[in-house]
Amino acid sequence: MYLKKAKTIVIKIGSSLLINEQKKIRNKWLIEFVKDIENLLKEKKNVVIVSSGAISLGCKKLNLNKKNLKLDKSQAIASIGQIELMNLLKNNFSKRKINISQILLTLEDTEQRRRAINAKRTLSNLFNLGYVPIVNENDSIATSEIKYGDNDRLASRVAQISDADCLILLSDVNGLYTKNPKIHKNTQLIKKITKINDEIEKIATKSISQHGTGGMKTKIDAAKIAQLSGCYMAIANGLVLNPINEIKKKNNCTWFLPKVSKLHARKKWIISSISPKGELIIDDGAISALKQGKSLLAAGIKKVNGKFYKGDHIKILNKSLKEYARGLSSFNSDEILKIKGHHSNKIKEILGYITKSEVVHKDDMVGV
C-alpha cells in the first residue's frame, strides 16, 4: 500500500474534523488522531499536518457565526483563532510527547521558487529535529487566500515542496463516488484514479462537501498538482476515529496515482525555470563530491560567471567547461565571488552574517 512505503506524508485536516456543528471541539477524535500520527512517527516517517480551523476556532472564541463574515473581519478572527488552534493541537500532541511547530504560508510562499526553497529547507530541518510541522494559510495577511483559498491546494503544494510521497486529504466523505452518495443510493466509491478526465471533473463538480471551503472541486485541483509532483494522493474519510489507521486497514478511500516519478517531477521543477542565469566552474574534487551525491561547497568553486540572485537557476561546469549539473544557487553571485575557494566554516567571517553552508544544496541539483 502507498502509505506503507511512504517516507514523507502530508495530512490535511479540515475544520469540521476538529470542531462539530455545535461548535464543540471533537476531543475524542483528536486524541485518537494523535495516536495515528504517533504510529507514523514510530515507523520513522516524516509527517506534516496541514490544519484548517483558525477561523472556526476564532468564531467559537468570539461566539460568532462563520457564515456571513466579512473578509477583513475573518482575517482578524483567523489571527485570534490560529493560536487557539495551535494551543489545542499542542495540548493534545504534547500528551504523547510529540513535538509540533507552526508554519503559516500563503500560496506565494510555495509558488515562488525562492520562497518555496526556503520553506522546503525549513520543513526538512524540522523533520531532522524530530518535529511535526503544522501548516495553515496565513489567513490574517493573505487577502485573496481567505476568499478563494482552500487548504486542499495548499496541502498539495506543501506535499510538492516537502517531496512527500503521500498526501492524504481527510474529508467528511470516503472519497469520490460515481454519484453523490448523499443523494443517490446506487453509487460506488472510485478506489483508484490514474487520469483525471472530463468524467471525473464532472462528478467532482457535482459532489459538494458540507463543510470547509473546498469541496470536491478543490480536491481534484489538489490531485492534479500531486499527480505532477510524483505524489500519491488520497481523499479519505476523516470523521472516523483513527482515520489513518482506517486507511491502512481498509483502504476505503479514493487514491490518485502520480503521473510521473518524484525524481522526474523534481528535476523538471528545477530545470523548468527560464534559462540559467550564471555558471559556476568547479574543481575535480568538487566533481567527485557531486558524483557521490553531495552538495556543492564554496571550497570547490574556481570561477563564477554571470550575475545572479539567491534561488536562481545556474549551470555547474567542470574545469574543461563541460556542463556537469544544474541547480539552484543558495547565494548570489557577489557572495560566491567572495567565498569561493574557502572552507564553509569561513563563510560567516567573510560575509559577516550567518547563512547556508552549501552553495548548491544536493536537493536543488540535477546532473545533466
Inter-residue contact 235 to 172 (CB < 8 Å): no
Inter-residue contact 210 to 140 (CB < 8 Å): no
Q: Other C-beta atoms within 10 Å of 129: how many?
A: 9
Query: Nearer to ligand GLU by C-beta: 222 or 247?
Result: 222
What is the closest distance, in whole angstroms, from the C-beta atom of residue 150 to ligand GLU in the complex?
Answer: 4
Should residue 171 be labelled a site residue for ligand GLU when binding is judged by CB under 6 A? no
Mask 88-127, x = binds ligand GLU (CB under 6 A)?
----------------------------------------
What is the closest distance, in whole angstroms, from the C-beta atom of residue 23 to ligand GLU in the complex?
Answer: 14
Should residue 54 be labelled a site residue for ligand GLU when binding is judged by CB under 6 A? yes
What is the closest distance, in whole angstroms, from the C-beta atom of residue 206 to ligand GLU in the complex?
Answer: 20
Closest Cα to residue 239, out of 45, 78, 21, 49?
A: 21
Q: Which of 46, 52, 174, 254 binds ligand GLU (CB under 6 A)?
A: 52
Distance CA 181, CA 77 (A): 34
Maximum CA extent, the chain: 70
What is the closest distance, in whole angstroms, from the C-beta atom of residue 58 to ligand GLU in the complex?
Answer: 8
What is the closest distance, in whole angstroms, from the C-beta atom of residue 27 to ligand GLU in the complex?
Answer: 19
Query: Nearer to ligand GLU by C-beta: 50 or 164?
Result: 50
Closest Cα to residue 358, out of 296, 285, 308?
A: 296
Q: Which of 214, 230, 258, 276 binds ligand GLU (CB under 6 A)?
A: 214
Helix, strand, coil percentages in the chain from 3-state DSSP, rounded to 5: 45, 20, 35
Stretch in the footprint of ligand GLU (CB under 6 A) among 48-56, 102-110, 295-303, 311-319 = 48-56
Q: Which of residues 6-35 bind ligand GLU (CB under 6 A)?
A: 14-15
Residues contacting residue 1 through CB under 8 Å, at least 6 positions apart: 248, 251
Should residue 276 be labelled a site residue for ligand GLU when binding is judged by CB under 6 A? no
Helix (H) or strand (E) holding 166: strand 166-171
What is the closest distance, in whole angstroms, from the C-beta atom of residue 200 to ligand GLU in the complex?
Answer: 21
Residues contacting residue 111 through CB under 8 Å, at least 6 positions apart: 157
Query: Nearer to ligand GLU by C-beta: 1 or 141?
Result: 141
Distance CA 99, CA 14 (A): 21
Stretch in the footprint of ligand GLU (CB under 6 A) among 51-59, 243-251, 313-321, 335-343 = 51-59
Stretch in the footprint of ligand GLU (CB under 6 A) among 184-192, 207-215, 244-252, 338-346 = 207-215
Query: Nearer to ligand GLU by C-beta: 109 or 137?
Result: 137
Cell reading at 86: 495551535
Query: Nearer to ligand GLU by C-beta: 214 or 327?
Result: 214
Instruction: Please report the DSSP string for 306-328 in residue order.
Output: S---TT-EEEEE-TT--EEEEEE
Query: How far apart are the two ends of the chain, measured CA to CA in Å?
Result: 33
Stretch in the footprint of ligand GLU (CB under 6 A) among 31-39, 200-208, 209-217, 272-280 = 209-217
Q: Which of residues 120-159 bind ligand GLU (CB under 6 A)?
A: 136-137, 139, 150-151
Distance CA 184, CA 190 (A): 15
Query: Nearer to ligand GLU by C-beta: 153 or 277?
Result: 153
Residues contacting residue 75 through CB under 8 Å, at least 6 positions apart: 139, 140, 141, 143, 146
Q: How many residues bind to ligand GLU according to rule CB under 6 A?
A: 15
What is the closest distance, in whole angstroms, from the C-beta atom of residue 62 to ligand GLU in the complex?
Answer: 14
Residues contacting residue 47 through CB under 8 Å, at least 6 positions apart: 8, 9, 10, 11, 37, 40, 41, 132
What is the closest distance, in whole angstroms, from the C-beta atom of residue 20 to ligand GLU in the complex?
Answer: 15
Amino acid at the residue 45: K
Q: Write out the residues near ligand GLU by the rule CB under 6 A.
A: 14-15, 52-56, 136-137, 139, 150-151, 212-214
